[in-house]
Amino acid sequence: MDSFGIYLHVPYCKAKCRYCDFYSAPGARGVPQSYVDALLRELGKNARRPDTLYFGGGTPALLSPAQVAALVEAAAPLPGAEITLEANPDTVTWETLQGFRAAGITRISFGVQSADDTQLRRLGRTHTVAKAAEALQLAREAGFPEICGDIMLALPHYTNAEFDATLSLLQQGGCTHISAYLLKIEPGTAFARFPPEGLPGPDEAADFYLYAVQRLEAAGYRQYEISNFAKPGHEGRHNLLYWNCRDYWGVGPAAHSCLNNRRFYWPDDVQAFTDGSAAEQPEGVCDAEDFLLMQLRLNRGMDLDEYARWGGQFTPAQMTFLRHCVASGYARFADRRLQLTPAGMVVQNAILEALL
């Protein structure tokens, strides 16, 4: 049976980060039971057991352990399933971490972002560096086999030293997986309305990314996707479903799905989802273009024969462009496989634009 993942969207947050454009709702008092009941209602309609279950947000760690346990039970993941919960360092305690682990969470992912308190305040994060270190230590003590951490790159007034300090924090915290993202100013965010001073230019941002790739590799975190790095054998199985165009079902407002190559999504309306008046909306089909977009995110690249099975084929002009990319150090061709190098991943959007 093909792999299948379920994504549960928990949109509640204590505060909105200044760079965030994800759909969210105020959640200082936790996640309403009525919302959890709505997730349970939808899970009750599914008979397919998932290989992966992902609690994303928002801040899913605002759920109580009892709520998480009920949702895991309703999702009925297969034995050995990867079950991930995202968390902010200041939303967990020893008791909740123990409870999440007992509920079946195997993989906890902390939005650490930086090991600089001034930077965290600038971003609108509500935790401190000390709190991040404490949360990582408590997660180790609670027995999570997989601990993940996020790093943001090319932040205002950024330096390689800030990256090194953040990497050291995550290493000492026992992280098996690290996601490293370049800051992008998205429309509708606080940063878009009031751009921060000291933002690196595009060339500087590219240098920060390439430095991060090199440092993570040296620290034993192998790059397997444009923004994701892991100790061997600790790659995130759920997100690999997305990048390999496998089936996944998203539940909750603004959650997206792709089942049997058909895409659909829930409207971004908590109230309509909770009261049952919302319905999933069609979003088209997953085709060769989607396959190309997803596969070129991966470090192992795209198999051209598999691309052809999706109905894709490069024109002579596109092949000439790709040979130029190879000669310029942006891509590699080997055994009918097209891979972007780290330098190519920096300019991935421009490469994709030429290929699409």
For 130-148, write each residue's pLDDT tens digit: 999 999 999 999 999 999 9
Sheet holding 281-285, edge to edge: 222-225, 228-230, 177-182, 146-153, 107-113, 82-87, 52-57, 4-10, 247-251, 256-259, 262-265, 281-285
What does the pLDDT read at residue 234?
A: 98
What does the pLDDT read at residue 21?
A: 84
Q: What CATH number is attached to the domain comprising 56? A: 3.20.20.70
The encoded tokens of residue 59 equal: 């801040």
Q: Is residue 286 part of a domain?
A: no
The pLDDT tens digits of the residues spanning 167-214 come to 999 999 999 999 999 999 999 999 999 999 999 999 999 999 999 999
Q: Is residue 181 part of a domain?
A: yes
Task: Identify whether residues 38 and 180 lie together within a single domain.
Answer: yes
How many whole angstroms separate alpha carbon 35 and alpha carbon 32? 5
Q: Are 14 and 59 in contact (CB under 8 A)?
A: yes
Task: Identify whether residues 236 and 323 lie together within a single domain.
Answer: no
Task: Identify whether residues 20 and 141 lie together within a single domain.
Answer: yes
Task: Identify whether residues 30 and 163 lie together within a single domain.
Answer: yes
Does residue 264 surpass a pLDDT of 60?
Answer: yes
Q: Is residue 247 part of a domain?
A: no
pLDDT cut 90: percent of the chain above it: 93
If you average pLDDT over residues 23-32, what whole number do you get? Answer: 84
Three-class DSSP category at 23:
coil
pTM greater than 0.75: yes
If you average pLDDT over residues 98-107, what whole number do you get? Answer: 98
Grade residue 15 by pLDDT with cuts at 50, 70 and 90. Answer: confident
CA-wise closest residue to 344 among 239, 223, 244 = 223
- Number of structural domains found in the chain: 2
The pLDDT tens digits of the residues spanning 68-80 come to 999 999 999 999 9
Task: Identify whether residues 150 and 299 lie together within a single domain.
Answer: no
The pLDDT tens digits of the residues spanning 309-326 come to 999 999 999 999 999 999
Task: Say which residue the tokens 């009925």 belong to.
Answer: 76
Q: Is residue 14 part of a domain?
A: yes
Mean pLDDT of the chain: 95
How many whole angstroms separate alpha carbon 319 and alpha carbon 185? 33
Grade residue 164 by pLDDT with cuts at 50, 70 and 90. Answer: very high
What does the pLDDT read at residue 1?
A: 56
Does residue 349 surpass a pLDDT of 70?
Answer: yes
Does residue 28 surpass a pLDDT of 80?
Answer: no
From residue 12, how far is each of 9, 103, 154, 282 by CA, in Å? 9, 20, 27, 25
Query: Given 242, 265, 284, which residue is the final one in a domain?
Result: 242
**What angle do helix axes 33-43 and 65-75 make, rounded to 10 degrees?**
10
Residue 151 pairs with which residues in a beta bridge? Answer: 113, 180
